[in-house]
Amino acid sequence: MIHRGLRALSLCFLLHAYMGDSWKCAILPDWLQNLRLYLSMTCALKITNLHKTYKNGFVALRGIDLYVEQGDFFALLGPNGAGKSTAIGIITSLINKSDGRVSVYGYDIDTHFAEAKSCIGVLPQEFNFNVWEPIEEILVNQAGYYGIERRDAYRRAEHRLRQLGLWEKRHEIASNLSGGMKRRMMIARALMHNPKLLILDEPTAGVDIENRRTMWNFLTQLNRQGATIILTTHYLEEVENLCRNVAIIDEGRVIEHTGTKALINRLGSETFVLDLEKKVTEPPCLDCHAVRVIDGSTLEVDIDKGVGISDLFDNLNHMGIKVLSMRNKTNRLEQLFMQLVDDRRQP
């Protein structure tokens, strides 16, 4: 019995070594394959030991591991050239990986590429559409590439264009649209096949504040409806407002992979800017707080984590200093991001 079990195990090992995952599809019964798929379904994206070295020798990814749960709003952060776009390029099949595995909703991108790709909608960083085509046609064609009938594609295009405020522009060629409209059109295009996983590579880059907020609301709504969203951005307030989990990539490695709140809680101290009613000449003496005078009627106060800010206001009140308003000096996540990246780069 043991002998037989060992033989079966070694056969599995050999098959795995030579054929990767494909042998399981050939040998396992349907119900077992479905069970296996169901168990891996809780994970929208799983990246294991992903490596990428370009032909010129540049190493973009040095074995990253990532896990994004279904329904998550996930941020992928990192400085320019950290490897974010390379990772997205590999997930979406625009870049060939050097090593590692990627699975989307349980589908391996190598062995089940069509199923994996059907789950993904992507908004790339740069404009990648035919600028001479009318935008409705761009959307309808995109649906066609996913096997959606033309009549149905026109209905979906109308729905998405109305949702994103572009319906009136449907006959315009794409080059006539403003930068913000082009971004919205690309979001509409990414959603034509109702993907379960939406990957947005800097969706709000170059978009004005009003449009950015509209886009945030739209994305939040999509996420509430069940779509998993992966977002890369350089606007960290966007991450703080939208994302539940975050990973930071630097020099091709994941240096942080945690919840957004947990990450922010790690911040040792915060700097607040206080606008005062009357000018002060010297910084008021406050226990536990470092205070700096900026321009007489503005103070900068460092407050350590765990220290209540109500004491600060009481003390200032006693000194006859009235505070008109208060704000964070920098975005909290931005502060942390810089700390993490700087710590890593210091020798």
Alpha helices in the chain (DSSP H): 2-19, 22-27, 30-40, 84-91, 113-119, 135-145, 150-163, 179-190, 209-224, 236-242, 260-265, 310-318, 332-345
Is the CB of 95 or the CB of 323 nearer to other proteins?
95
User: What is the rounded CA–CA span in Å between residue 83 and residue 250?
Assistant: 7
Distance separating alpha carbons of residues 63 and 254, to the nearest angstrom: 9
The smaller minimum CB distance to other proteins, of residues 87 and 263, is found at: 87
Closest by Cα among 210, 192, 247 to 47 = 247
Residues with Cβ within 8 Å of residue 196, at least 6 apart in sequence:
44, 70, 105, 119, 226, 227, 228
Shortest distance, position 139 Cβ to other proteins, whole Å = 10
CB 268 within 8 A of CB 340: no
Minimal distance, residue 46 CB to other proteins, in Å: 19
* Interface stretch with other proteins, choices 17-25, 140-148, 237-245, 274-282 (CB under 8 A): 140-148
Part of the chain binding other proteins (CB under 8 A), chosen from 7-15, 138-146, 269-277, 282-290: 138-146
Smallest distance, Å, CB 95 to other proteins? 5
Instruction: Select the span of 75-83, 146-154, 234-242, 262-270 touching other proteins (CB under 8 A).
Output: 146-154
The Cα 9–Cα 101 span in angstroms is: 23
- Residue 342 as a binder of other proteins (CB under 8 A): the answer is no
Stretch in the footprint of other proteins (CB under 8 A) among 89-97, 228-236, 301-309, 319-327 = 89-97
User: Encoding tokens for residue 230?
Assistant: 């992966």
Hey, what are 267's tokens? Answer: 């911040």
Q: Which two tokens stand for residue 58?
A: 């540049």
CB of 141 to other proteins, least distance (A): 5
DSSP H or E run through 59: strand 59-69
Smaller CB distance to other proteins: residue 92 or 223? Answer: 92
Residue 264: both structure tokens together? 């922010």
- Measure the CA–CA gap between 340 and 324, rounded to whole angstroms: 33
Q: Which is nearer to other proteins, 149 or 304 (CB)?
A: 149
Task: Give the DSSP letter of residue 309.
Answer: S
Total residues binding other proteins (CB under 8 A): 37
Stretch that binds other proteins, among 107-115, 164-172, 255-263, 326-334 (CB under 8 A): 107-115
Nearer to other proteins, 13 or 113 (CB): 113
Binds other proteins by CB under 8 A, chosen from 15, 19, 25, 148: 148
Q: Which of 21, 65, 137, 302 binds other proteins (CB under 8 A)?
A: 137
The least distance separating other proteins from the CB of residue 242, rounded to whole angstroms, comes to 23
Query: What CA dihedral angle connects 180, 181, 185 and 186, to 10 degrees?
Result: -20
Q: Taking CB under 8 A as the criterion, which residues in 112-131 touch other proteins?
A: 113-115, 117-118, 120, 122, 124, 126-131
DSSP β-bridge partners for residue 197: 120, 228
Position 93 contacts other proteins (CB under 8 A): yes
212 binds other proteins (CB under 8 A): no
Q: How far is the CB of 93 from other proteins (least distance, A)?
A: 6
* Strand arrangement, sheet containing 245-250: 120-123, 197-201, 228-232, 73-77, 245-250, 253-259
By CB under 8 A, the residues from 12 to 51 that bind other proteins are: none
Q: Is residue 146 at the binding interface for other proteins, with CB under 8 A as the rule?
A: yes
Asked if 57 touches other proteins (CB under 8 A), the answer is no
The binding site for other proteins (CB under 8 A) comprises 54-55, 89, 92-96, 113-115, 117-118, 120, 122, 124, 126-133, 137-138, 140-142, 144-150, 189
